[in-house]
Amino acid sequence: MATLMNYNSIITNLYFMLIIADGTISEKEITSGDHMINVESIDETEFKVQMASAKSKDQTMLLQDCLAGLKKLNRNQQIRIIAWLCVVANADGFMDRAEWQLIYRIYHKELNLPLEEIFKVQKELSKLAAEKSTVITKLNTLI
């Protein structure tokens, strides 16, 4: 039985699947996830609960649930989620083959989304994440 997923649970579960795809979770991928949580206004506690839950799920079924949920989202939300996955996958300076295969399968084979639009949103999200990071750093130095 498929689990009903919303935008936040889809992005969180796909984030989990992406960071474990290459067998190595980098500190920069974790930092990108923190930026994603902040920019998307995802509740940190809920995010941690979803991440812990994702670890215990069958990954094939989890992906199927995410794909089913993605297909119910509007096109802009789909593109935004894929763009976040690209931001995270590139965070450590290199998109691993396994990460690319997961992203490619979702955006191209399952959703048939245009790569140019994903790249455009990816640039915007990278910029937003960098701006939020700068603001947080400045606030921390004031405290």
Q: Where are the domains of the chain?
A: 7-142
Helices within the chain (DSSP H only):
7-21, 27-40, 44-56, 59-72, 75-90, 97-104, 115-142
| pLDDT digit string, tens, across residues 22-64 | 998 999 999 999 999 999 999 999 999 999 999 999 999 999 9
Distance in angstroms (rounded) separating the CA atoms of residues 34 and 91: 12
Residue with tokens 């941690």: 48
Residues with Cβ within 8 Å of residue 98, at least 6 apart in sequence? 21, 22, 23
Q: What is the pLDDT of residues 53-108, one digit of tens each?
A: 999 999 999 999 999 999 999 999 999 999 999 999 999 888 899 999 999 999 99
Top-tier CATH class for 7-142: mainly alpha
What backbone torsions phi and psi does residue 2 show, to the nearest 5 degrees? Answer: -75, 145
pTM over 0.85: yes
